Amino acid sequence: MSLMTTAAIMQPTYLPYLGYFQLMAASDAFVFLDDVQFARRSWQSRNRILTANGELMLTVPVKKHDRDTPICAIEIDDSQGWRDKHLAAIRHAYGKRPAFAEGWAFVSQQLALHPGGRLADLTCGMAAAAAEQMGLSPRFVRASELAAAGARSEHLLAICQAVGATAYVSPMGSADYMEEDGVFAAAGFPVRFQSFVQVDYPQGPGAFTPFMGFVDALMNVGWNGMAALVSPTP
């Protein structure tokens, strides 16, 4: 009997939260869904860090584009000096945290890449590089390279089939619309819905604040600590 090959599919995200990497840990093939329409004010181009004054949103500015432009075609607007601003904010927020040196080496290197390039190159590249640091090794694919047809659940199923998957792991938030579509059920294609398992980690003074961009955990517990936080639960 052949082994099951599990795919996960997520939109490229800037500084994704730990649940993103939990899906990577649960998959054999991880597909960046970069062939769908870009949405402003979404996680595709921004995320949060935790400062002494609370949460701070960091946003990657992008160039003007048509409303229906896919994520893969969105270009970064480097005229606003956002890279230095993000690094300054991260240094100010985490400069005294235990794993700052380890995290800073990674983040500063990643933010120096793809100047004036495409947003997906930055976000997909950083997420894949972070996964490698945590010992996660799914096969990374961009949906824009697959030319998979369909919309919504039909598109997801076509992507799974294009990468040779025999099962799909999805974030719990997609359960309602996927059940409504009924596409995977009609195809007899196995689906598992995975809830994000939040494990608190040392974050500094005050109550724990969940759902921060991964740099928060990285600066506090380092790569080894993050690997433990995203590893599959028994």
- Give residues with Cβ within 8 angstroms of 42, minimum separation 6: 11
Cα within 13 Å of Cα(185), Cβ side: 8
The answer to whether residues 189 and 170 touch, using CB atoms and an 8 Å cutoff, is no
Q: Quick one: pLDDT at residue 233?
A: 56
pLDDT digits (tens, 9 = 90+) for 104-163: 999 999 999 988 899 999 999 999 999 999 999 999 999 999 989 998 999 999 999 999
pLDDT in the model for residue 116: 85
The model's pLDDT over 57-107, given as tens digits with 9 standing for 90+, comes to 999 999 999 989 999 999 999 998 999 999 999 999 999 999 999 999 999
Task: Say if CB 37 and CB 12 are below 8 A apart.
Answer: no
Residues 6+ apart with CB under 8 A from 87: 107, 108, 111
Q: What is the pLDDT of residues 3-25, one digit of tens each?
A: 779 999 999 999 999 999 999 99
